[in-house]
Structure 1
């Protein structure tokens, strides 16, 4: 039952379906999780309330760390064919006019990649279904029951029984509401509009190409706005009022009409900018909320269903995809009875602090990006711009917003443990999962396995490893800081050692047993 046609027929018939994992929500987070689970051989069903993918341009930036993770699964190359044309530009913090420099973090992707969220979803869904995941559209969930040994989900005449449910159904999560879980935080204070438009004429103030965000923002006549050219006559328009008293209530869902968009275009870009068509438009707010627990029995939460924050710095989509990378292999190991005690709970332990950090710095960005700042805020912005021009400060903020500086608090005293490994060039020997020749570290993770990378031949030849741990013996011109590294399926180092420590095999075996991918 892989096709949408078959799925629709079964839904109308009121079919009962059994699966190992049911994922609610076919956005980037839900689809990425479905792909991760399918790679691990887990039967996965995705339920999506919408009948078709929303093509609105939103969540349109892949941050450097997310790009690295997508490349590790082979997904980045097909995505790059769909990018929005733009000149490379560093990321931003609160739209301040200093590009963030990710080069010191040794990444092959130092710039955010502009691509529409619908394109991202399309590629990931294609790969997920090819790997065996099923996606049912037009399947709005209206009932969830969680038991000690599984979950039951009711959706549009369909009843699904699964061992686990993962809610990836957005900031207004139906699953979260059905379970009565509080979503503590702060309500929104401002509202803005995101619209995909076509312009029949443009003034000289309309940008001709996408650059750094600070160069796209304009403010005039009570509005702030940003036009991002997408090619031909298409633009992505984001706008709001400079005075929050003029914003409509952030809890309303008023439609966005041509008259409102035309008024903004004329106010900010002049009468010479003419609206041709509105392809789609919606309002969004800047509320800040986070679930207290990402797991409730057999139900887990990821993406916006677990956390929402001001949409500054292009964090939301990336935070959700990285949630999926962290959760996928852990849930698969749990289902296959390979997981040590506490592995599934470590999803919350590792990702909740990351989400809290993003909520924290996007709240700071909201204050700094205020389009109508007080004198104190304006002074703070000036100081912050000066700080961002200092290499150490820029590096810190770049690592924070890109995800490149993320370190998980994993056990072990080696300085590499918990962090990512740069995507270095390797010369590999033939082995399980690899051929002899030149490759890159990222290519070793295509199958979603953990990798035991032996750079000095220290690992004993007779060492037996689980099926989902690939031993790769390789030479590397770069100094990675260890002779042997055990890297989790999500690309973070769980154990590292010098050659003498790895030689007897005991440390390796203990590290693999503790991780159990």
Structure 2
């Protein structure tokens, strides 16, 4: 064990340098926390995974000044706002049209500079966060795997393969669905067993002219051909694969595609992004055990349908980051870190059910076909398409942060101040924002003792409908006033920022 006279080697060790681990590391780095990220891969994973981030994730990037870098990665057609697209996504392969969406719905109006989701590959998100983490002084070690650890009341001794142990204050498992950290720490991980085998690959295929375009349902399963040239996906309802880690071969993809489609195709070569997945849906009962925490897929696993996993994990990271940083820095109010599980666990449970429901409508049996017709009709309606967009965008998410103004507990609106700045422009340093839109010196007086933890933003915003806001670093409103009355603000400050 390595332990010097001044304390741990690092305040936090993050196991895993995927986008969730790197997002968490950047949030911690902003607060001056000493972070080590250990990643077993020598190089970033370039496999095709999630292909988009939703509005909630885009707003998190905007608050940290990273949205321009994300937007620079978008293909030209994806720069248009959400309503300009013919489809806003799919539910179990059922395409949801953009046309019926109520763009004036209060939860959608004015949200997101680039629309309801941004089509940017996960690998690019990872690169952007990796660069930012390096700028903040986060140490990233590649080719280094966590082999085990010993946790006690004062910290965690982490055993790294072939290297000396490191002593850290906290260990966070961002090491994916088969998380070693989760297993060794003894987290309970209940859920439902896998019933499908999904396969995806970019291949060279002969006889593709006989395949349908888009999502195709058959009695044997589901397949997708395109839109990327050579990209195929199949879903079969015959249980999980015998060996999920074995290389995906051309013969395997060909056999699956033939079984599901009934078309006499020949797959001659796998040229990229081949993999398998299941609908295994499990969630840790808590995201914290002492000084060990879970984030992202380490805390919850589910099928990839509708691409919710990346966004769910990024939401976990921005919720946990400032709370863990406050705990490390010593000013966190009692119980702050435990609100991470309390706030994020219900969101994760919803995503698991969202993906389970999609599997239910994809089956080839008569009951599922009937259900698919009903769901298709609903999603093609104004109410249905709007409901879908609000769900996949992440804008439905609320936390129980107390009574009072309707904004309390919701994500902060994208306010534009009369000086030309956006509220997000004032959040780049990762602090709580106290927003005074009425020139009320009482707010400034309450903010003064919290210098270093809080940024006071004074200005005006025509039509904002509020005179003051307290916005947590994760973008959620902890207090709001419509009439300039600061009642409840002092209580909110103490609840989230501790005693000044």
Q: TM-score range by the shorter chain?
A: 0.7 to 0.9
Alpha carbons of structure 1 residues 102 and 309: separation in structure 2 relative to 1, 3 Å = farther
2:73 to 59, 62, 82: 82
Q: Who is 2:382 aligned against?
A: 391
CA contact (8 A) 2:13 2:38 kept: yes
2:415 to 418, 424, 446: 424
Q: Who is 1:8 aligned against?
A: none
For the pair 1:239 / 2:234, whether they are aligned, the reply is yes
CA distance in 1, matches of 2:276, 2:241: 11
Q: Who is 1:469 aligned against?
A: 454
1:511 to 481, 492, 498: 492
2:328 to 310, 322, 335: 335
CA distance in 2, matches of 1:277, 1:94: 25
CA distance in 1, matches of 2:492, 2:331: 14
Q: Who is 1:61 aligned against?
A: 52
CA distance in 1, matches of 2:165, 2:408: 43
Shift of 1:485: 0.6
Secondary structure of 2:327's aligned partner: helix
Q: Who is 2:403 aligned against?
A: 412
CA contact (8 A) 2:217 2:362 kept: no
CA distance in 1, matches of 2:211, 2:475: 41
Alpha carbons of structure 1 residues 76 and 204: separation in structure 2 relative to 1, 3 Å = farther
2:473 to 460, 464, 489: 489
Shift of 1:452: 1.0
Secondary structure of 2:494's aligned partner: helix
Shift of 1:90: 0.8
Secondary structure of 2:188's aligned partner: coil
CA-to-partner distance for each residue in 1:330-375, whole Å, 9 max, x for gaps?
Answer: 00111111111110000011001111111122111210122x1x22
When normalised by structure 2's length, the TM-score is 0.87
CA distance in 2, matches of 1:193, 1:383: 27
CA-to-partner distance for each residue in 1:379-436, whole Å, 9 max, x for gaps?
Answer: 2222222222333343333222221111101123221100012213212xxxxxxxxx
Secondary structure of 1:192's aligned partner: strand
For the pair 1:440 / 2:422, whether they are aligned, the reply is yes
CA contact (8 A) 1:424 1:478 kept: no
CA distance in 1, matches of 2:210, 2:479: 53
Shift of 1:467: 1.4
Q: Who is 1:254 aligned against?
A: 246
Q: Who is 2:433 aligned against?
A: 451
Shift of 1:49: 1.1
Secondary structure of 1:282's aligned partner: strand
CA distance in 1, matches of 2:242, 2:347: 26
Alpha carbons of structure 1 residues 203 and 188: separation in structure 2 relative to 1, 3 Å = closer
Which range is displaced more, 145-154 or 157-166? 157-166
CA distance in 2, matches of 1:206, 1:380: 25
Alignment of 1:124-163 (within 5 A): 124-156=129-161, 157-163=163-169
CA-to-partner distance for each residue in 1:65-120, whole Å, 9 max, x for gaps?
Answer: 11111121122221222235656341322222323648431212433222222221
CA distance in 2, matches of 1:473, 1:166: 36
CA distance in 1, matches of 2:376, 2:221: 23
1:312 to 290, 296, 305: 305
Shift of 1:376: 2.1
Q: Who is 1:177 aligned against?
A: 183
2:63 to 66, 72, 75: 72
For the pair 1:326 / 2:319, whether they are aligned, the reply is yes
CA-to-partner distance for each residue in 1:198-238, whole Å, 9 max, x for gaps?
Answer: 5488955789xxxxxxx7213569463224445xx6x5432
Shift of 1:450: 1.2
CA contact (8 A) 2:185 2:289 kept: no
Structure 1 unpaired stretches of 5+? 1-10, 208-214, 428-436
Which range is displaced more, 250-259 or 67-76? 250-259
Alignment of 1:162-241 (within 5 A): 162-195=168-201, 197=202, 199=204, 203=208, 216-219=214-217, 222=220, 224-230=222-228, 235-241=230-236
CA-to-partner distance for each residue in 1:430-452, whole Å, 9 max, x for gaps?
Answer: xxxxxxx3111222211111111
For the pair 1:112 / 2:117, whether they are aligned, the reply is yes
CA contact (8 A) 1:166 1:301 kept: yes
Q: Who is 2:357 aligned against?
A: 364
Q: Who is 1:430 aligned against?
A: none
2:27 to 36, 47, 53: 36
Secondary structure of 1:311's aligned partner: coil
When normalised by structure 1's length, the TM-score is 0.85
Shift of 1:272: 8.4
CA contact (8 A) 2:187 2:286 kept: no
Which range is displaced more, 297-306 or 464-473? 464-473
Alignment of 1:38-53 (within 5 A): 38-53=29-44
Secondary structure of 1:166's aligned partner: strand
